[in-house]
Amino acid sequence: MSGIQFKNVSKLYQQGENQVLALDEISLTVEQGEFIAVIGPSGSGKSTFLAIAGALLHPSKGEVILNGKNLNELKPKDLAQLRLEEIGFILQTSNLVPYLNVLEQLLVVKRMAGKLAKADKEYAKELLQSLGLAAKLGKLPEQLSGGERQRTAIARAFMNNPSIILADEPTASLDSKRAHEVVQLIANEAKTRNKAAIMVTHDERMLEYCDKVYQMEDGRLKHDDSNSYEKLKAISTKG
Amino acid sequence: MFLAIKELKHGKLRFLMIGVITVLIAWLVFILSGLGNGLSTLSAATFKNMDANYVTFEDGSRASMSRSLLSELLAEKLESQPNVSAASAMGATMGTVLNNSDSETNEKVDIAILGITPDSFLEPNVFDGKPLQANKPLEVIANETLKKKGFKIGDTLKIEGSLEKMKIVGFVKNETYNHLPAIFTTLDKWRSIQFAAPGSNKGIEKPVNAIMLQGENIDSEKLNQLFKNTETVTKSTAVQGMPGYKEENGTIMMMLAFLLAISAFVLGVFFYVLTLQKSNQFGILKAIGASNRFLGRAIVSQVFLLSFISIAAGILLTYGTALILPDEMPFSLDLKLVILYALLLLVISILSSLVSVRKITKIDPLQAIGRME
Ligand SMILES: Nc1ncnc2c1ncn2[C@@H]1O[C@H](COP(=O)(O)OP(=O)(O)O)[C@@H](O)[C@H]1O
Ligand SMILES: [Mg+2]
């Protein structure tokens, strides 16, 4: 079974005397080719959810199945391998390596996996070109605008051709034109290359690109049918 | 290696500073080792150079020439023992000489007078002039130090406290004994200087200080039993018994040990601080799938490169320093020692970076994603 599946996942943070139930019995399936959004107020558990989906955090209860693998059963080393091969993380701002140029940001991912082949270089260039960065290959992060940086990060997330794409507020630092472009890119990648994509966002304007919208509140996940875009979409596909 | 080199190029100033510190440490290490080597040469070069494997002293002398008195007749008996291929006696005494031929320079020079059998394995090769001859007891060969002090072949020497004049017939290289330049003479001549006072030979027939033995695997225990009142030790023990040798070496070694320990600590702290500064970056790399091994390798290879270049620069500086040091300074670089300390420094800096590698394994990739907005 491919895609990602949450089965009754809970996360309890222990902070001194206090316990915070950050996730409360979450169940959810994201199929390949599906792009979903998770929205919700600050502190509702969105990042925790994404961290668990990305094999960075262990759930306190329940299990996560990623491309048929139960994450609870993997060793830390295998989890790193899985992140490298099957997950493309698009993090918030300034998450590029400061001393690598745009092209190298992508190539380092290949180096982590082992050897760098000539074909990888070509692929990275193509990817960057398709994201409108062809002229920026040799630039360092400090020489790029916010949008260019974010697009580089996206290209990096796509570099290993992962089957799952996770994005944590990818538009937080972008103006609305760039924000649309970026989310469109993710949606496009999920559709055309058949990937499961999850985006955590505050930004209501971006929901039009998503197949489903979930609302996170106090650690509980609700499918939000009230979302107008989804309805519109449903109608338009029916009609 | 890729990340390592990229980062070195990007953060030039930062790495330059660490590099300079490493260069200075390496420089100091090599200078100290050169000094140590120079001092031990000065104190025992003749012993170190001589082609012998064991030395027989008087029992109780604790491997010291100056405390030992034996009869030269013993040499023949020792030579007939199993595994002993040759035995030859030596006597040593300290003295002061005056150049008698040159009336302008009447500077006195401290020397070590070594009595040996001409043409034995104890006689060093002359690089200038002629060797000793048994039938010419008034001829000596001298270390090149005397040449530098203005002595020439054919010059006559006056030894203080002795009426006899001797003639320099040859010069030898790198023969110093008890921190003094050595002059070699026959055993008989040496005896006439050393035992000028009646009774100072304690009634021993043909006295000498020690007998050097050639031969592998000599059973010194057996020799000690066989020849009462003797004690046979290895050459290296005899070198240790040279006056001041152990003390000087010990001092230098202690300084080196401290220096190496301090450098391990200083470099370790530097690398650690660098790593701490980058912990967010490592978190990001881990989040996108970098293994601890990949990141650890990046750090270690970076430290390796940096140390390698710095140590090489330190070696160059040291050889440069050796050129401008004054001649009298007991400084001599031994290539083997330089390589040894270079490797030791390299190992130390890499070990000190392992603290940072440990830190990396502890970095939580979670910190890369904005968990707590
Ligand atoms: N490491 C942690 N230790 C304790 N509590 C945490 C930790 N991380 C998050 N929390 C708490 O869990 C809840 C959910 O946090 P988070 O997943 O960051 O929400 P969001 O991303 O929606 O803002 C919050 O109440 C937060 O304070
Ligand atoms: Mg968050």
Q: Are B25 and B345 in contact (CB under 8 A)?
A: yes
Q: What is the number of structural domains in chain B?
A: 2
ipTM of the complex: 0.83
Same domain? For B163 and B66 the reply is yes
Q: Give the SS3 label for residue B196.
A: coil
Contact A42 B373 (CB under 8 A): yes
Residue B2 — pLDDT band, cuts 50, 70, 90? confident
Q: Are A220 and A25 in contact (CB under 8 A)?
A: yes
Q: Are B78 and B88 in contact (CB under 8 A)?
A: no
Same domain? For B35 and B67 the reply is no
Q: Which residues share a beta bridge with B89? A: B211
pLDDT, residue B372, reads 38
Same domain? For B157 and B212 the reply is yes
Residues of B with CB under 8 A from a CB of A: 2-3, 6-7, 9-11, 281, 284-292, 294, 365-366, 368-373
Which is more confident, B165 or B173?
B173
pLDDT, residue A29, reads 93
pLDDT, residue B279, reads 84
Average pLDDT value for chain B = 89
Same domain? For B310 and B205 the reply is no
* Chosen CATH of A31-57+84-236 out of 3.20.20.140, 1.10.10.10, 3.40.50.300, 3.40.50.2300: 3.40.50.300
What's the gap in Å between the CA of A91 and the closest CA on chain B?
A: 6
pLDDT, residue B88, reads 95
Same domain? For B156 and B262 the reply is no
CA distance readout (Å), A159 to A22, A112, A127, B60, B280:
32, 12, 8, 80, 22
Dihedral Cα B214, B217, B222, B227, nearest 10 deg:
10
Could you list the beta-strand ranges (E) of chain B: 54-58, 70-71, 86-99, 108-116, 126-129, 139-143, 156-159, 165-172, 176-177, 180-186, 207-208, 210-214, 230-234
Query: Each residue of B216-244: pLDDT tens digit?
Result: 989 989 999 999 899 999 999 999 988 88
Same domain? For B164 and B285 the reply is no
Same domain? For B69 and B99 the reply is yes
To test the pocket of ligand 1, the residue of A24, A47, A214 to mutate (highest count of ligand atoms within 8 Å of its CB) is: A47
For the ranges A168-172, B120-124, B141-145, which has the lowest average pLDDT?
A: A168-172
Query: Each residue of B257-291: pLDDT tens digit?
Result: 999 899 888 988 988 988 888 888 888 888 888 88
Q: Which of A51, A77, A160 sits opposite B291 (nearest CB)?
A: A77
Task: Let me know if A121 is exposed, middle or buried by CB neighbors in 10 A (0-12, 13-18, 19+).
Answer: middle
The reply to whether B223 falls in a domain is no
Tokens of B86: 């040759």
Amino acid letter, residue A40: G
The reply to whether B239 falls in a domain is no
The reply to whether B241 falls in a domain is no
Same domain? For B16 and B162 the reply is no
Handedness of CA A90, A92, A50, B281 (dihedral sign): positive
% of chain B residues with pLDDT over 90:
50
Query: Each residue of B66-88: pLDDT tens digit?
Result: 899 999 999 999 999 989 999 99
What pTM value is reported for the model? 0.79
Q: Ligand 1: which residues within 6 Å by Cβ?
A: A 13, 15, 20, 22, 40, 42-48; B 371-373
Among the bound ligands, the one closest to the CA of A43: 1
Same domain? For B196 and B77 the reply is yes
Instruction: Give chain B positions within 8 Å (CB) of A47.
Output: 369-373
Dihedral Cα A20, A26, A31, A37, nearest 10 deg:
-50
Tokens of A64: 């996560």
Which residue, by CA, sits nearest to atom 6 of ligand 1? A13
Q: Are A35 and A167 in contact (CB under 8 A)?
A: no
Query: Cα-atom radius of gyration of chain A, to the nearest Å?
Result: 18
Structural element, H or E, at residue B12 = helix B12-49
The range of the structural domain enclosing residue B61 comes to: 54-217
The full set of domain ranges for chain A reads 31-57+84-236
% of chain B residues with pLDDT over 70:
97
Same domain? For B167 and B262 the reply is no
Q: Please identify every stretch of chain A with a pLDDT value under 50, giving residue numbers as ranges.
A: 238-239
Q: What is the mean pLDDT of residues B344-373?
A: 81
Q: Are B214 and B75 in contact (CB under 8 A)?
A: no
Q: Which of B217, B236, B264 is the last residue of a domain?
A: B217
Residue B199 — pLDDT band, cuts 50, 70, 90? confident
Residue B103 — pLDDT band, cuts 50, 70, 90? low
